[in-house]
Amino acid sequence: MSQAPMPDFSSSVKLKYVKLGYQYLVNHFLSLLLIPIMAIIAVELLRMGPEEILNVWNSLHFDIVQVLCSSFLVIFISTVYFMSKPRTVYLVDYSCYKPPVTCRVPFATFMEHSRLILKDSPKSVEFQMRILERSGLGEETCLPPAIHYIPPTPTMDEARSEAQMVIFTAMDDLFKKTDLLPKDIDILIVNCSLFSPTPSLSAMVINKYKLRSNIKSFNLSGMGCSAGLISVDLARDLLQVHPNSNAVIVSTEIITPNYYKGNERAMLLPNCLFRMGSAAILMSNRRSDRWRAKYKLCHLVRTHRGADDKSYYCVYEQEDREGKIGINLSKDLMAIAGEALKANITTIGPLVLPASEQLLFLLSLIGRKIFNLKWKPYIPDFKLAFEHFCIHAGGRAVIDELQKNLQLSGEHVEASRMTLHRFGNTSSSSLWYELCYIESKGRMRRGDRVWQVAFGSGFKCNSAVWKCNRTIKTPKDGPWSDCIDRFWDSFLYGDWEIVFLGFTHHPLISCQLIYSFS
């Protein structure tokens, strides 16, 4: 007589709920431990009765000197704690530059210009076409006016004109949104990696808005696409030592002087990916700004891999064989970015991950390193630490790789993909376009945590963690105001994840499906 087969526990037991139970148990271990202790104390007090409790209280003898010393000690410890506690830094508001439609560069226009500029190099033109098709960029990205000329005119005057256009527009919008007056700015930080004129861009801003003579101004250059978070880190440090201050950060990349007109394929990539963009951010440590600020800065971790030669040279400005200057992107870029991210999350993980994930990671590490067990490295579930992710929109490959390694869903990387599609790689300002996308979708709620991750030359990986102060209403203006409805939400349909992308060519056929098997 044949025995009945054993039941398939993997299908009958909901492992998801087992994991949720484990997470709740570990994360609330102290609370769950206190409940029975408090219950035992309550039962004991009920058993003793009021008279016995009163007798115990009366039997205690308090000396006036002991009471005064204890009170002084409590006051002293409290004072030292609050005096040494870092000042809370708030992100009051920010604005993103929206390029005019006259700067729009559809694929057809870009390729037509490439054919005319590189008419003696048809293979380079074909290479750029292949890159564009796989890049994740859409038909509405923009390049500055100087690049629209044939041939382009990357002069100093044109570069300054682009800088004034993108920076002043973003600053004007920030003043309008926050009611900030130029004289109220105490700290100014401008970051632009590849365009560093004299006088500096920060001096240009001071001259335009007639800022105070005692303003603390900084101009960061050569720091790559992660310079936006480096500026946030610098602003945070300055706000720790200057009370009741406002800090304005301008993150941008000026495209005009950096358009490459040669034939080196590794140096043609930036032409296909980088587009116009800029963001202005207001940070403050004033207590009065607590109620109107959008976010509070929780953590900021910077990782620099410049000591390694491969990391240092993977994004490198140089001349080609014909003497034309451009940015050389190494084939090892993704592997180097992965190593930098690994080092960064190793540092930030203990600061943000719940205890359940940290315990699993520790057990996995002990099993592999000490007992030599052939376990796969445990990847912590960062979805338990953050509700929203802003991954630098450096290219489709970057977003794909981080989504895969961090096991994120399509919704988690939707802001990055849509920013890349609509605005292209805007360098250090891309994180703020992504944050604005999440707000424009009406998804930002009070208490939500946001993780911003950026990569830059050097090679650097920087990340910042923000906590939402208040539920943010869907903005009526901004860079997404006229197109957010065309970027539909991602959703799951069976085993396929579907994201709809809007196009403007025809009102009836205005969507494209991108499928990614999950």
Active site residues: 225, 304, 388, 392, 421, 425
Distances (CA, A) of 116 to 127, 151, 182, 407: 15, 8, 45, 43
Q: CA–CA separation, 350 vs 348, rounded Å? A: 6
Q: Is the peptide bond before 459 cis (omega within 30 degrees of 0)?
A: yes
- CA angle 385-283-219, nearest 5°? 110
Who's near 145: CB < 8 A, 6+ residues apart?
Answer: 102, 103, 158, 161, 162
Q: CA–CA separation, 399 vs 137, rounded Å? A: 13
Place of tokens 């809370």: 88
Helices (H), 100-256: 107-117, 122-135, 145-148, 156-178, 201-209, 227-241
Q: CA–CA separation, 495 vs 419, rounded Å? A: 25
Q: What is the DSSP letter of 468?
A: E
Q: CA–CA separation, 360 vs 407, rounded Å? A: 16
Q: CA–CA separation, 348 vs 448, rounded Å? A: 17
For the record, the structure tokens of 99 come out as 């390029």
Q: CA–CA separation, 419 vs 434, rounded Å? A: 6
Tell me how far apart the terminal alpha carbons of the chain are, to the nearest angstrom: 43
Q: What is the DSSP letter of 102?
A: G
Q: CA–CA separation, 403 vs 517, rounded Å? A: 12
Q: CA–CA separation, 89 vs 289, rounded Å? A: 10
Helix axes 430-440, 227-241, angle to 10 degrees: 90
User: Would you say 378 and 355 are in contact if contact means Cβ atoms under 8 Å apart?
Assistant: no
